[in-house]
Chain A
Amino acid sequence: MKKWMALLLTVIMVMCSFGAAMAEEKTAELNIMMSSANLMEQWQDFCDQFAAKVLAEQNIKVKINLEMPASGQYDSVLQARLNGGDAPDVYMIHCNNLNVYTKANYTTDLTQEAFTAQLFESVRKTVTLEDGKVYAAPLENQAWGVLYNKEIFEECGLKTPDTLTELKAACETLKAKGYTPFMLAFQEQWVPQLMTALTLGGKVSGELPDWVDRMYKDEGSYEEVREIFDVIQLIMANGTKRAMEEGSEAGAADFAMGAAAMFVQGTWAEGSVMTANPDMKVGVMPLPINDNPGCTMLNMATSSVLCVYPKSTEKELALQFINYIYDEEVSSQLFQACTYNPVAACHTYEPSQCVASAAEFLAAGRAYEELVLPSAVTDEQGKLLQELYVGTVTVDEIITRLDAAFQNANKLN
């Protein structure tokens, strides 16, 4: 009997200790939403790394739900989730919208987080709002313009054009050699919109520095920047066919395979281009707007940033995740895999082709800070450029409608 009792007690003790060990391992769920569907694999790997680290160091089993809605629908999905009380713990937004999200109390003050000390001062400034606090973690900070196929340019004996006249001549040379000058992929409205972002940026930064301020006071007009449509129409007239049937990813792949010599796309498309053709020699050049080389500059912007939802049930973990992005051991690997530019002191990797190519222009001071326009206006620009391409609207009508859209946005915000 005693033996049986001893055995029973031993079994109970073993089970209790096993149970206690089990109880120590906590579980948690972290919801992350990003708009980088083309980088799903890279981010998934990083999330797995983070989960393994947390499990090893804190014995917390984290289930990370990484969502990547398509960029066209991303903002709507995110807004619906934030409103519907189903906010992700960590989410990506465009840096231009940081102020709006912070005003709506959807961001957390990250100033005291360790990663902020790592950031380059110029980048840190872009995620710091007027109150001097950092509200987001920057991911993409790039100098972007027009992607061009270096091999085609070399073969045709072309150098990157500094003026509109030179760009026109380059188009003629390319066509004479049997190449299509520009890759057009206008199916998604944000892609043609890039042309307005670049041309407006160049024109305004080079010649009309007070234009944006005046537009916000209803004292300016698109009439003043009418010449941006010269280069836009030049691109449209010298582009690949069936642009409305071509999505951004397909466009990047076709550009990589030599369908055209130039592509108005940011350096964020480099990953897609290199996946389609790993041997491609791709460069970045500024887009000429007129014959003033002072307007031919690259656009420097912090686009994607990550925010932490302030009412997150896993806020501590979310902050750890943010800090882990800038961890000295893993950060460079992640940023390089995503072809992001270095944004922090821990980024000591060899820059990608596009980054290296843009650096030449940056060194010469040929870059401007991206203009911040109301998102209703940038949306309208994308729509109107699609219409301009299919011929259902004239430049005069575009000017009238964009002025109205800007004034309407001023009235509402």
Chain B
Amino acid sequence: MKSKAKQNLSLLLFVAPALIVYLLFKLIPAISGMFYAMTDWNGFYQDFQFVGFANFGEIFTDKPFWHSVWFTLKFVVVNLLLSNGAALALAYYIESIRKGKSFFRTAYYLPNMISGVISGYMWMFIFTKVLYYFADNWGWAFLDHSWIGDPNYSFIAIVIVSAWNSCGYLMIIYIAALQGVSPQYIEAAQLDGGNGWQIFWKVVFPMIRHALTICIFWSLNNGFQMFDTVYTLTGGGPGRATQTVALNIFEEAFQGNIRYGYATAKSTVLFLIVFSITLLQLRFMKMQEEEL
């Protein structure tokens, strides 16, 4: 009994640094944020009043907010499919080649090491200068679109940058999972005459379901909080056409009427949305994993 307590204590000590950081920078601000959500604090004056749930009531009629929720949902779905699809394909490809594995792994992972802000500015240059250069000088007219100004094309631009940025990270998780698949199963399937697609879909894919759960969880979480790439690429514009929820909250807190309390109420709602969706996703995917 004593040794178990000791073991727990040592485990706790190991996680303590991360736990303290998490408590200080995530949990405590989140809880205090919920308090501010019930005030009319503008984040500027030192005094404020308690307004109860008035801020939450106002959210229901806030059109720009719901527009940003809809835009974020669209972004999350498309980005999730694209980045996970590409990451899985890359991981499967890299694992199947014999030479240059580490080179490709590093090369595809590199974009993930660049922050969203930097990659946003980099791609901004590509979308506003490089593509037009090709269109104007090489006659590639299909690139001659307003990649930042037209809401439809800027959605594509945002998804491209975001998927490019996150793909490498997801790829590493898929690679780790693929390495855990015993080659015996694949050999057995090959002997049974299965083709490449069948082997992947019927043998490999079910065995990496746990990685899929993690990657989808990560993509959902990240997607709903999308800020940096959109901020640097389009600034949420034109107007509010490409405004994500995080950007809408930022605008509410720091621009215009600077309503910090109301913005925190919105972020509480965003938290509830993300929390319920990821909870559902985890439940659903865990159930499927167990079925296997």
Contact = CB atoms under 8 A, between A and B. Distances in A.
Given A79-B254, A242-B146, A409-B257, A393 B128 contact: no
A392 interface: yes
A412 interface: yes
Interface string A177-196: 00000000011110000000
Interface string B94-133: 0000000000000000000000000000000001100010
Nearest to A188: B235
B193 interface: no
Interface string B241-279: 100000000100011111100000000000000000000
Interface residues of A, number: 37
B44 A383 contact: no
A306 to B, nearest CB: 19
Interface string B32-52: 000000000001111000000
Contacts of A76: 250, 254-255
B194 interface: no
Contacts of B43: 79, 83
Contacts of B149: 186, 242-245, 389-390
A383 B132 contact: no
Interface in A180-234: 186-189
A186 B258 CA distance: 24
A85 B69 CA distance: 32
A103 B238 contact: no
A75 B45 contact: no
B172 to A, nearest CB: 32
Contacts of A374: 257
B237 A75 contact: no
A25 interface: no
B187 interface: no
A386 B146 contact: no
A105 interface: yes
Contact of A83 (B44, B128, B239, B256): B44
Given A245-B128, A376-B257, A383 B239 contact: yes
A6 interface: no
B227 to A, nearest CB: 12
Contacts of B235: 72, 187-189
B238 A390 contact: yes
A121 interface: no
**Closest 7 pairs between A and B when the two form their complex, measured CB to CB:** A244-B149, A376-B256, A76-B254, A387-B239, A245-B128, A386-B238, A376-B257
Given A376-B257, A384-B239, 10 more contacts: A104-B45, A242-B132, A243-B149, A244-B148, A244-B150, A245-B149, A375-B256, A383-B237, A383-B239, A390-B239
